[in-house]
Amino acid sequence: MRFLKKPASVKGTLLALLLPAGIGLMGVAWLVHGLLLDRMSREFVESRLKDEVAFLEHQIRDANGEVDTLQTGDYFQDVFHHAFAIHTPEQTIISPDTWEPLLTPLIENEEDGTVRVEDAETTDTPLDILAYRKSFQVGETPIVVIVSEDLGALKRSQAALHAWTAVVSVLLIMLLVAVLWFGITMSMRPVVTLKAALKRLQDGEISRINVQSPEEFHPLVLQLNQLLDSLDQRLERSRDALANLSHSVKTPIAAVRQILEDDTRPLDTTLRHQMVERLRDIDRQLEAEMRRSRFAGPQIGKSAYPIKQARDLLWMLGRLYPEKSFELSSSLPEDSRWPIEEHDLNEVLGNLLDNAGKWSSRCVELSVEQGSGFKRIVVADDGPGVNHKDLASLGQRGLRLDEQTPGHGLGLAIVRDIVTRYEGKISFSTKSCSGLRVSIELLR
């Protein structure tokens, strides 16, 4: 288990798993080969013995049971290559004579069929034989015919063949090792290419990973490039925020400093109010840029529970605006998860619901939907709405007026930035005396 938890390398792990499996399968195949070889050879010998017994029976019947007229001796030995015995009430013929101690007990045995004799306690005879016995009658004369074969020579041949099979198996295992090593090395070449691409990326030679990789590595390369895009976008957003903040607070700070440096003018109520207003401008700009810098954007492994967060926000806003009604409509289960960072979803829902709560007359409706390939959030209020000509300018970053006036301003700008970050779409619609309807559709 420790080896499986801490593999030295992918190549070593694959070899450690595949090589024993291949050796084990080869060993099982070798054992099965031995068993099948033994069984097939025995069945083959039995078939030959039966055929030769049938031949002898045919010869004896043609001779009308006169076994003396049969040409035994060298003729039968050359044809059969086996030892045989023919027994009648008058005589017994056994060839060769040295097999008499083995075949005589089989003649006396009255059971026909295949018989195997092992470890016979005789001299100058095989230790392991296979015999086939058959008894029949020719007229009134009972006859017993036995044909047998020495299995020792057959076993030696089988052992030699089995040994050669083992040698071939070892060679195949060596070939398997070479093929596995070559295959794993070729399969791991894209990793080397990817490593080189990462080194070039680190050295600043390339800005994105663009290597030819197998299908299994495509998600990895895609996620790495998405991570690089995310880092670039965050850097660009931080630079934009700093530039916007610098441009926004530069003028108010210069005005306040000019008032404070002018010793000839007294700090009356009018000037005091002007300074407070300029400081409020600075505070609003700081708040806007700080809120923009907090949203994270798409992150791998991050998700949120839209229904749970929506209920929590509706409960809080219901306490903030007790005279108004906040309603949620959705068919999603409570444990539904969306691939969006939790703080980002809170910013979107919180800003939309807060703006709707400020401008609504009595009711705010939140709808959360999910379909094939999209996720939709719709917030509608029954307030005075927005002029059709102003709908296109809602949430635009360049409009300072939207960020400084309570209502559909700073919050919608933040929402638009977050939705754009998630490659989504935001749309505004309104009708006479029906309030504003904000629809957000996320495609991720």
Output 353 or 126, whichever has higher pLDDT. 353
Output 208 or 400, whichever has higher pLDDT. 208
> Which pLDDT band, with edges at 50, 70 and 90, does 307 fall under?
very high
Output 183 or 402, whichever has higher pLDDT. 183
Q: Is the omega angle on the peptide bond into residue 406 within 30 degrees of 0, that is, cis?
A: no
> How do residues 23-48 score in pLDDT, each as one tens digit?
888 888 888 888 888 888 888 888 88
Task: Please check whether residue 59 lies inside any domain of the structure.
Answer: yes
**What is the reported pLDDT for 407?**
45
> Which pLDDT band, with edges at 50, 70 and 90, does 377 fall under?
very high
Task: Please check whether residue 53 lies inside any domain of the structure.
Answer: yes
> Which pLDDT band, with edges at 50, 70 and 90, does 429 fall under?
confident
**How many angstroms separate the CA atoms of 437 and 416, rounded?**
14
The CATH number of the domain holding residue 144 is 3.30.450
Among 267, 294, 321, identify where a domain stops.
294
> Which pLDDT band, with edges at 50, 70 and 90, does 329 fall under?
very high
The CATH number of the domain holding residue 415 is 3.30.565.10
Residue 89 pLDDT > 60? yes
Does residue 331 share a domain with residue 254?
no
For residues 148-160, average pLDDT = 79
Task: Please check whether residue 3 lies inside any domain of the structure.
Answer: no
> Which pLDDT band, with edges at 50, 70 and 90, does 431 fall under?
low
What is the percent of the chain where pLDDT is above 70?
Answer: 79
Q: Which residues contact 131 (CB under 8 A, 6 or more apart)?
A: 49, 103, 106, 114, 115, 116, 117, 146, 147, 148, 149
> Which pLDDT band, with edges at 50, 70 and 90, does 1 fall under?
very low
Range of the domain at 116: 15-156
Residue 237 pLDDT > 50? yes
Among 256, 272, 294, identify where a domain stops.
294
Mean pLDDT of all residues in the chain? 77
Among 109, 134, 156, identify where a domain stops.
156
Task: Please check whether residue 187 lies inside any domain of the structure.
Answer: no
> Which pLDDT band, with edges at 50, 70 and 90, does 3 fall under?
very low
Output 383 or 293, whichever has higher pLDDT. 383
Contact 193, 20 (CB under 8 A): no
Does residue 224 share a domain with residue 145?
no
**What is the reported pLDDT for 261?**
74
Tokens of 143: 């006859």
Residue 158 pLDDT > 50? yes
> Which pLDDT band, with edges at 50, 70 and 90, does 364 fall under?
very high
Output 171 or 127, whichever has higher pLDDT. 171
Residue 92 pLDDT > 80? yes
**What is the reported pLDDT for 133?**
87
Task: Please check whether residue 192 lies inside any domain of the structure.
Answer: no
Q: Distance between alpha carbon 221 and the CA centroid of its chain, in Å?
A: 17
**HEC profile of the chain:** CHHHHCCCCHHHHHHHHHHHHHHHHHHHHHHHHHHHHHHHHHHHHHHHHHHHHHHHHHHHHHCCCCHHHCCCCHHHHHHHCCEEEEECCCCEEEECHHHHHHHHHHHHCCCCEEEEEECCCCCCCCCEEEEEEEEEEECCEEEEEEEEEEHHHHHHHHHHHHHHHHHHHHHHHHHHHHHHHHHHHHHCHHHHHHHHHHHHHHCCCCCCCCCCCCHHHHHHHHHHHHHHHHHHHHHHHHHHHHHHHHHHHHHHHHHHHHHHHCCCCCCCHHHHHHHHHHHHHHHHHHHHHHHHHHCCCCCCCCCECHHHHHHHHHHHHHHHCCCCEEEEEECCCCCCCECCCHHHHHHHHHHHHHHHHHHCCCEEEEEEEEECCEEEEEEEECCCCCCHHHHHHCCCCCCHHHHHCCCCCHHHHHHHHHHHHCCCEEEEEECCCCCEEEEEEECC
For residues 264-290, average pLDDT = 71
> How do residues 208-231 score in pLDDT, each as one tens digit?
888 777 777 788 888 888 878 877
Strand 325-330, strand 363-371: pairing: parallel
Output 6 or 126, whichever has higher pLDDT. 126
Residue 97 pLDDT > 60? yes
**What is the reported pLDDT for 82?**
72
Does residue 20 share a domain with residue 116?
yes
Does residue 67 share a domain with residue 47?
yes
Residue 73 pLDDT > 70? no
Does residue 324 share a domain with residue 280?
no
**What is the reported pLDDT for 325?**
92
**What is the reported pLDDT for 374?**
84
Does residue 331 share a domain with residue 425?
yes
Does residue 344 share a domain with residue 244?
no
Task: Please check whether residue 301 lies inside any domain of the structure.
Answer: no
Report, in angstroms and rounded to the nearest whole number, the Rg of the chain calculated over CA atoms.
49
Tokens of 343: 């703080």
> Which pLDDT band, with edges at 50, 70 and 90, does 371 fall under?
confident
> Among residues 51, 218, 217, which one has the least CA distance to residue 145?
51
Contact 95, 73 (CB under 8 A): yes
Contact 336, 377 (CB under 8 A): no
**How many angstroms separate the CA atoms of 145 and 237, rounded?**
104
Residue 120 CB burial class (10 angstroms; 0-12, 13-18, ≥19) = middle
**How many angstroms separate the CA atoms of 296 and 300, rounded?**
11
Among 67-76, 110-119, 135-144, name the most confident range. 135-144
Among 3-12, 275-284, 289-298, 304-313, name the most confident range. 304-313
> Which pLDDT band, with edges at 50, 70 and 90, does 5 fall under?
low
For the ranges 75-79, 131-135, 159-163, 361-365, the lowest mean pLDDT is seen at 75-79
What is the percent of the chain where pLDDT is above 90?
Answer: 6
Task: Please check whether residue 163 lies inside any domain of the structure.
Answer: no
For residues 159-172, average pLDDT = 83
Q: How many domains does the chain have?
A: 3
